[in-house]
Amino acid sequence: MAGMKATCRSCGVNNLELVLSLGDMPLANGLLTEEQLGEPEATFPLDVAFCPDCTLLQVTETVPPEAIFCDYPYLSSFSDTNVACARENAEAAMNALNLGATSLVMEIGSNDGYLLQFYAHAGIPVLGIDPAANIVAVAEERGVPTLCAFFGRDVANRLREEGKVADVIHLNNTFAHIADLNGLVAGLGTVLKDDGIIVIQVPYAREMIEHVEFDTIYHEHLCYFSVTALDNLFHRHGLEVVHVERLPIHGGSLRVFVGKAGQRGRSEEVFWLLREEEAAGMNDATFYRAFGQRVRAVRRDLSALLCDIRNDGKRVVGYAASAKGSTLLNYCGIGRETLDYVVDRSTVKQGRYTPGTHLLIEPPERLLETMPDYALLLAWNYLDEILAREVAYRQGGGCFIVPIPQPRILAGLA
């Protein structure tokens, strides 16, 4: 469907092409208390569209950010993989740049200080910026100074007036969360020193499409980036992509380094990836059109697999009350009739209920207490970490079901 009325978040054109519709969905991190189960639950359309002018893949609906982020249940430090990746990210920057006691490192969407703590421990001044008051309190307790605010032009101008300009600015899996893309990028340019560097980590749109990672789509993730789309966006604001790395985390991610235009040379990796995306057809809507059919095939196959398991009298639970798990469960219609409960390592989530499907979230210890036959892995992006943590469950015969890119069973170790 071409010529959608929605306006591109990056370049402003209004001829977006619909790629996928997942229907009306609750907020992916909108976990419920027991008292809220009987109350009406807000849902919003979850449609994905492609911009043929600037190549940005994006959701068309913007949920007010205050409804999502002001009391946020996701703490990055509960994932060992996240923390290890953050440490590597920070150490790489410290090794490459001449940072010291007079430097400043910022992070937009700094969560509980899981990344900035590594700079702080090295004696480098830091400033986190995050809108979730509950998480800002955790970061402050960790010794990471954090401003509770939504970052944009106004906050950037205020920081610059206060003399707070950064040598390094991190946006680690938060760049796609901000609705006003142009305001965000203009703000970044405002608080970046002339020789500073912006380090952005985002899921890669190519991996999402090719590996059918549709559960990465939810209302918090407003955009799904290619190097081409990012290059077009930054160029508009006097910034440029100077280097790109591809990472395996979260099913395939980009780490993008951005500087002020003309301040640094561009690496060959940037040119290579731009050429590769064009050759793969990512700059044209044709690349994305078959995505919906493949997503529907995953729903069909996963539903059939779970139905067969339940018909055999076997018990199934969910593993990880993740945002991507919310998309998968709600789109596939998997709820209490299929899963007994969901386990999650985060103590913030335990005792609450999953959005839309209303499954109780239990601590992971429940796996060994009840020994369900199968655990549907709702955070497949942390597969290795979870398998290593749940050896005892697998040794007892427990099997994991990995839903993406196509449903498969990982047999137990008994």
In angstroms, rounded to a whole number, what is the distance separating the alpha carbons of residues 224 and 250?
Answer: 13
In angstroms, rounded to a whole number, what is the distance separating the alpha carbons of residues 274 and 30?
Answer: 37
Contact 168, 199 (CB under 8 A): yes
In angstroms, rounded to a whole number, what is the distance separating the alpha carbons of residues 130 and 143?
Answer: 15
Supply the pLDDT for residue 78. 62
**pLDDT averages per 10-residue partition of the chain, 414 residues:** 73 94 95 94 96 96 75 64 82 88 94 92 95 89 93 96 97 90 96 96 94 94 96 96 90 93 92 97 93 95 97 97 96 97 94 97 97 97 93 96 96 84
Chain centroid offset of residue 258 CA: 20
Q: Which domains does the chain have, with CATH numbers?
A: 69-289 (3.40.50.150), 314-410 (3.40.50.720)
Residue 376: its H or E element? strand 374-377
Residue 47: its H or E element? strand 44-50
Supply the pLDDT for residue 264. 87
**Checking DSSP bridges between strand 105-108 and strand 17-25, what pairing results, if any?**
unpaired
Instruction: Give the contacts of 249 (CB within 8 A, at least 6 positions apart).
Output: 81, 85, 381
DSSP H helices in 97-132 = 116-121
Contact 218, 22 (CB under 8 A): no
Supply the pLDDT for residue 76. 64
Per-residue 3-state assignment (H helix, E strand, C coil) for 159-197 = HHHCCCCEEEEEEECCHHHCCCHHHHHHHHHHHEEEEEE
What is the number of alpha carbons within 13 Å of residue 348 lying toward its C-beta?
17
Backbone angles phi, psi at 58, to 5 degrees: -155, 155
User: Considering the entire predicted model, what is its pTM?
Assistant: 0.90
Length of the chain as a residue count: 414
Q: Count Cβ atoms within 10 A of the Cβ of residue 339 and give its class: 0-12 exposed, 13-18 middle, 19 or more buried.
A: buried
404: its two tokens: 């993406």
- CA angle, residues 326, 329, 331, in degrees to nearest 5: 100
Residue 258: its H or E element? strand 253-260
In DSSP terms, which residues pair with 171 in a beta bridge?
Answer: 200
Supply the pLDDT for residue 135. 86
